Amino acid sequence: MKRSFIVAGLLLAVTVIGVNVGASNHSAQTSQYAPDDPSLEVATFAGGCFWCAEAGFEVLPGVVEAVSGYTGGPEVNPTYKQVAGGRTGHTEAVQVYYDPEVITYEGLLQGLWRMMDPTDADGQFVDRGRQYRPGIFYHTPEQQALAEAAKQALIAENRYPNPVIIDIVPFEIFYDAEEYHQDYYKTNPIRYNVYTRNSGRYQFIDAIWGEDKEIDYGQFRPAAMSNSNSNSGFNPDTFTKPDAETLKQRLTPIQYKVTQEDGTERAYSNVYWDEKREGIYVDIVSGEPLFSSRDKYKSGTGWPSFTQPIKPDILVEKEDRKLFSVRTEIRSRFADSHLGHVFSDGPQPTGLRYCMNSAAMRFIPKEEMEAEGYGEYLELVGPPIS
């Protein structure tokens, strides 16, 4: 049994509560430790020792509670002793309750990468055995699509010496761990710190991620722009661009840097580079339509790329002589947001590659376009080219 030197002597006997949330992603009352807030959404992850995963998620913005428990196996109401002994098929996991208005599921995935090893299916660090395997247990088809996209993006970054093999499987059931495991990093800080320091977890994360370990989770906050989040689509006759101070309050730091200061986000570490769903991409500031999924293709650059805008004459081209070369900058017509650049190395029929920044755009899935006021563009939306 791993970590027995830490938990030995604890005299607590707590009944384990079984939690089955099925395919619902709105199950904030299913665990006895869940917050009493029906607006929260739930996600389930495994990253080895659930003390560490719980501590890692609870510092993320928008995460209200992370509950330690067991999932992935057939045993009903398993105990810690059974799971740690590898006799149940379960793995240690955390149920994460989060505010979708503050952080997206993509943001949670980025946090997960920075607290575990997705290349080790037989345990995590000093904790060995399938009961400590990493995993993503999706509650909805959307979570599955986002998890698969994030996994492919992680593979493309080529950070690890070994293949990224973390399982992405349907969520079935979650059992709360015994009470003494909940918030262990708070209730037993000395023992927790001794364990983590000796486990090798944080040394591994530092070596793999380096300066990229700390990221701006604000980029994973749903846009709060009144125009782009309204149900009336985009009306150029009524749109007025907010002033700089207002934009700084409404946009995340990376969104402001890209759109207002002509910045560029990191390749393969942005939201839409591998987005495969059908839908429309609109300006993050104004909501004006920019691109359709129909014209999106995988360029191998790590940024979302399109062969053409959704309609002619909706973009503005400017000569860009920065970086000791001449490029063609692309800006939105009404919000004047810097979007990216266009190059002549794209596929047919246009031969163009509109290389855009995810931070400059908001993606609206096809099934939500009508409700958000973009129904007139439905006939222009289709599956990505590749």
User: Catalytic amino acids?
Assistant: 49, 355
Cβ(336)–Cβ(243) under 8 Å?
no
368, 374, 379, 382 alpha-carbon torsion, rounded to 10°: -50
116, 118, 121, 122 alpha-carbon torsion, rounded to 10°: -30
d(CA 369, CA 362): 12
Residue 172, CB half-sphere, CA atoms under 13 Å: how many?
11
Backbone dihedral angles phi then psi of residue 385, each to the nearest 5 degrees: -60, -40
Cβ(32)–Cβ(17) under 8 Å?
yes
Amino acid identity at 50: F
User: Does residue 349 have a cis bond before it (omega within 30 degrees)?
Assistant: yes
Cβ(359)–Cβ(258) under 8 Å?
yes
Cβ(234)–Cβ(310) under 8 Å?
no
158: which residues sit within 8 A by CB, 6+ positions away? none
